[in-house]
Amino acid sequence: MGVFRAAAIQMRSGESPERNAADFERLVREAALRGATYIQTPEMTGALIRDKQARAASFTSEDKDIIVSAARMLAKELGVFVHVGSTAILRADGKLANRALLFGPDGGTIATYDKIHMFDVDLDNGESWRESAAYEPGTEAVVADLDGTKLGLAVCYDLRFPQLFRAEAMAGAEVLSVPAAFTRQTGEAHWHVLLRARAIENGAYVVAAAQGGLHEDGRETYGHSLIVDPWGRVIAEAAHDEPAVIVAEIDPGQSSAARKKIPNLRNARDFTVSSGVDAAPLLRGAAS
C-alpha cells in the first residue's frame, strides 16, 4: 500500500476480557486519529490469566470472542487494518491457541496465526513458565498482504527463533510483527537487541506492540513497544511500561533499499554441518 503509518499499542491487560476490550477500543481509536492505517496490539490482548480454571472460564471460540468482534467492528468503521497481536482462542478440539488475527478495512479476516514456539523456561529468581501446558502450538508460518505490503506474523517467544523470520522474509515479508508480553527480566536483557537484529538480518521493518507493567495475575511485563526500520534504527518507542500508542511511517521501499545494500537473503547458500555423525543434515540458508 505504499508508504503508510503503523501504530503499536502498548497495553496492561488484566483478567477481565470486557475491561480489556474497552481499553483496546480506546487505544485503537487513538491510533487511527493519529493517522495509523495498520494498528497492532500486544500478545494476549484479551486477557492475561495465570489460573487454569479462571482461564478456562474466560476464553471462548473465535466466533464468540469479544476482542475479535471489537476488532472487526473497528477495522470496518475506521477503515484500517487491525492486527490483534494475539488472544486466547478455544479451538474446536477443546485446546487453546495463542492466536494472532489480522482484519482488513472491510472487517474481514485476512489471516490468522497460531504461535509456534511455546515459552517453556526457568528464569532466575524462581520465575518459571510453561506455556505448552495451556496452549497448543501452531505449525505454520504466515505472511499476509496489507494492500500490497507483505507482513510476516509472529508472537513473542517466536522472536528468539530467527529462522522463522528469515523464512518469512524469503517469502516476501517487508514488515515483521512481534506482538509480545515479554517478562520484565527477559525484556531488560534482550528485547531491544533481538528486535533490532531481526530487522537487520532480514532488511525489514519490525513492529512490536508489548504488554507492560504489573498485571492482575501477578506477572510483570517489560513494555517498551518498538518500531524498527530495515537498517535497525528504532524509529518509535514507548520508553516505559504504561499503556500508550506509538506511531511511525513505514516505507516498504526502504526494505528493498536495505536488501540491495546488503543482499544476504539473495546470497544465502545451502550447507551441511560436520559434527562427527554419519548423516549430517543439509541446512538451507533461508532457514539457518
Measure the CA–CA gap between 148 and 65, rounded to whole angstroms: 29
Average pLDDT, the chain: 92
Q: Quick one: cell of 140?
A: 505454520
pLDDT number for residue 129: 58
Planar angle of CA 98, 69, 31, nearest 5 degrees: 85
Residue 230 is part of which domain span?
A: 4-287
Domain count, the chain: 1
Please report the pLDDT score of residue 49 as a whole number. 84
For residue range 156-172, what is the model confidence (pLDDT) as tens digits? 999 999 999 999 999 99
Q: What is the pLDDT of residues 140-151, one digit of tens each?
A: 999 999 999 999
Burial 12-27 (b: 16+ CB within 10 A, else e): bbebebeebbebbeeb
> Mutual orientation of helices 17-33 and 66-78 as an angle, nearest 10°?
20
Q: Are residues 192 and 210 in contact, defined by beta-carbon separation less than 8 angstroms?
A: no
The DSSP result for 101-130, as a single string, is EEE-TTS-EEEEEE--S--EEE-GGG-EEE
CATH number of the domain where residue 279 is located: 3.60.110.10
pLDDT at 104 over 80: yes
Rounded to two decimals, what is the model's pTM? 0.93
Burial class (CB in 10 A: 0-12, 13-18, 19+), 263: exposed
| CA 207 to centroid of chain Cα atoms | 8
The number of helix segments (H) and strand segments (E) in the chain equals: 7, 18
Q: What pLDDT does 198 receive? A: 98
Give the helix, strand, coil percentages of the chain, each rounded to 5.
35, 30, 35
Q: What is the pLDDT of residues 218-240, one digit of tens each?
A: 899 999 999 999 999 999 999 99
Q: Would the pLDDT of 105 be above 80?
A: yes
Residue 287's pLDDT is what?
44
Residues catalogued as catalytic: 43, 115, 156
What is residue 44's predicted lDDT score, i.e. its pLDDT? Answer: 94
Measured in whole angstroms, how far is the alpha carbon of residue 126 from the centre of its chain?
Answer: 26
| Of 176 and 127, the one with more pLDDT | 176
Above 70 in pLDDT, residue 277? no
How does pLDDT run across 15-41, given as a tens digit for each residue?
Answer: 999 999 999 999 999 999 999 999 999
Residue 159 to residue 145: CA distance in whole angstroms? 21
